[in-house]
Structure 1
Amino acid sequence: MLSVALLSKWHVHWVDYMNEALANPNISIQRVWDEDAHRGEAWAADLGVAFERDLDKLLADPSIHAVIVTTPTNMHKDVIIRAANSGKHIFTEKVLALSVSDCAEIYEAVERNNVQLMISLPRLVEPYYLFAQEAVDQGILGELNTVRVRVAHDGTVRTSKNPHGWLPQHFYDPVLCGGGAFVDLGAHAIYLTNRFGGKAKTVTANFVVPKGYEVDVHAVATVEYESGAIGILETGFTSGAGMFIMELHGTKGTIVVENHKVRMRLAGSEWEEVNDLPARMLMPMEQWVMSIQGGYAPTICKEDAILLTAINEAAALSASTGGRIKLQGVSAATGKAI
């Protein structure tokens, strides 16, 4: 049984990971820590477990085997490295860190201490992604030239029920978040497109920061890949009918995904709905637990985490300077520029 501590209720996905942990027969939630002690104490009371105010004391406890991290994004590097140096396995909300160099430091600590780190990139286990990836790998679409992914919701849209939108106000803090819609929600578009496109060469981004906000609430980036494919990444907190769209266009055909519905059209044929999709793979948390138990190699890997941050970092620079950013090669083995 994996004895786990929950670290922070800051990110909106805390409830998802808590529920996944509660539902997993191999996980036992034993402790709570939160940078907001009042919030953490109430959370621990709801769960019927102890609250620990001192993170170092919690991490030094040998009865705690692993941690689930949903802290502010700017705390990830410090918290994850401290956890790794204490011999704890780590499951973390995306993004891993706000710079490639920070990712490299995290992985150095993780690998030196021989602990398992999993970043939650859940769309990489979904049937629509698995089908599309298989089609690309088998050359069914021919030479892939364009990938467009849109992930958007209405978190900032003001309603009578939510006058400021349903996202917590701290999601607009540029220091805590390291950005706005693109760095967080846009991460899904980034890691999906990276899987299809391969190594990125350049990034150009436009972030919209409305009056009264300090971060982007909707954004678009284009990524040029060494393969010749172009990625179009769209995201936002301002989409009243927000939905997930993924398009893959190649010389022999096209795949379009709308939410979980998949259509495909090959050259010379008509559109067809694809109903025979692969089974969903194990969720990231399930993969994490199995990797700790041994004998299981997760499908979500270090390269996914590092290249996600590389695009995010370049997009932020592009948006702030108005320029086209050339990416240095990033080693998936070290997280460092090559």
Structure 2
Amino acid sequence: MKVAVVGAWHVHTKEYAEAIKNNPHTELACVWDSDRERGEAFAKEFGIPFSAELETIWSDPSIAGVQITTATCEHHDVLIAAAKAGKHIFTEKVLAFTNEEAKEIADAVRASGVKFTISYPHKTWPTLLGAKQLVESGKLGEITYARVRDAHNGSTGDWLPPHFYDASQTGGGAMIDLGAHPMYTLNWFMGEPKSVVSMFTQVTNRGVEDNAVSVIEFANGAIGVSETGFVTTGMPYVLEMSGTQGSLMVHNDILEYCCEETDNKLVEKTDLPNALPLPVDAWIDAVVNGGEAPNGIDDAVALTKFMVGAYESFKTGKRYCF
């Protein structure tokens, strides 16, 4: 199928476009961007046409799908237009700035019947799939605490693009960007949130938070901690989970756990599941061969809900109740 790249704004735009270009079932049709210079540069690099008007993409029946990697502030209008045009959608996180916008997008996607995937790549990792198996097996008992830390040195290393610090485009800083991974992981493992309290700070003083923590209360009394930042070097990812009968930890691509069957000693889990296809490839397969696309619109709406709560807590300095 032909796929149009809608937006060359995101840092992962080229990564997804390469995946579409290299997939035997797809080809890149064209690119549009609200910044013509940026869009034309991308088109030249990938050897595809630049489309100056979005309507050209929406009205082209040969284009079956779209990769939406615009600025987040453009998601609402672009995603709704794509759904109404009947284009299958692969998009980057987050879905929208508000719950109201997320609902409007979701309504359009559901009404259109298109295949929709939002990029949650951590859910494809063998270590996290193995952790999910352990939790669902009941060996750890009832989960009472989870901490997910995902951080890098994008600010201190000065390699993130300047527009990633423009809150009008991004909606925030580290939490709404990189912090999406801990948030959707906590949702995946822990379910619906009850309340959240946030602490965001600025280390490099670029106008948005680059060091952030949100503490989330879940319905059963469990606590989840979402940690992220653009000012960390080394140990970029950690997952810790504790239950009434055991615990686990993921770090450096290793999953360790302890419970009754290990005599409560921490051991490495070596029989990990195979990695799942990356979301963009799984989306292509769902469109071309049928089946359910992963990380659908309900998952996308849920992430927006977590983020809205996290930012409202920070802005007000109070606990936010969902």
Fold match (TM-score > 0.5): yes
Specify the alignment match of 2:178 in structure 1: 185
Give the alignment of 1:1-338 within 5 angstroms.
2-158=1-157, 165-210=158-203, 212-267=205-260, 268-327=263-322
- Structure 1 residue 17, shift from structure 2 partner: 0.4
TM-score, normalising length: structure 1: 0.92
CA distance in 2, matches of 1:245, 1:44: 37
Kept after mapping to 2: 8 A contact 1:197/1:227? no
- Structure 1 residue 242, shift from structure 2 partner: 4.6
The secondary structure found in structure 2 opposite 1:316 is: helix
CA distance in 1, matches of 2:135, 2:235: 27
CA distance in 1, matches of 2:117, 2:264: 41
Q: Greater shift after overlay, 209-218 or 170-179?
A: 209-218
CA distance in 1, matches of 2:117, 2:293: 8
Shift of the 315–168 alpha-carbon distance from structure 1 to 2, 3 Å rule, reads same
CA distance in 2, matches of 1:326, 1:92: 28
Shift of the 46–218 alpha-carbon distance from structure 1 to 2, 3 Å rule, reads same
Same amino acid, percent of matched pairs: 39
Kept after mapping to 2: 8 A contact 1:3/1:63? yes
Q: RMSD between aligned alpha carbons?
A: 1.3
CA distance in 2, matches of 1:246, 1:212: 28
Give the unaligned 5+ runs of structure 1.
159-164, 328-338
The secondary structure found in structure 2 opposite 1:51 is: coil
Give the unaligned 5+ runs of structure 2.
none
CA distance in 2, matches of 1:319, 1:291: 38
- Structure 1 residue 294, shift from structure 2 partner: 4.8
For each residue in 1:250-307, what CA deviation from the matched residue of structure 2 results, as whole angstroms up to 9, or x when unmatched?
Answer: 1111110013111112254321111210011122112211222353123423332111
Shift of the 217–68 alpha-carbon distance from structure 1 to 2, 3 Å rule, reads same
CA distance in 2, matches of 1:85, 1:301: 17
Shift of the 236–211 alpha-carbon distance from structure 1 to 2, 3 Å rule, reads closer
Q: Greater shift after overlay, 148-157 or 26-35?
A: 26-35
For each residue in 1:120-174, what CA deviation from the matched residue of structure 2 results, as whole angstroms up to 9, or x when unmatched?
Answer: 001111111111111111111011100000000000014xxxxxx1001110001
The secondary structure found in structure 2 opposite 1:81 is: helix
Aligned AA (1:128): T
Aligned AA (1:3): K
Aligned AA (1:144): I
TM-score, normalising length: structure 2: 0.96
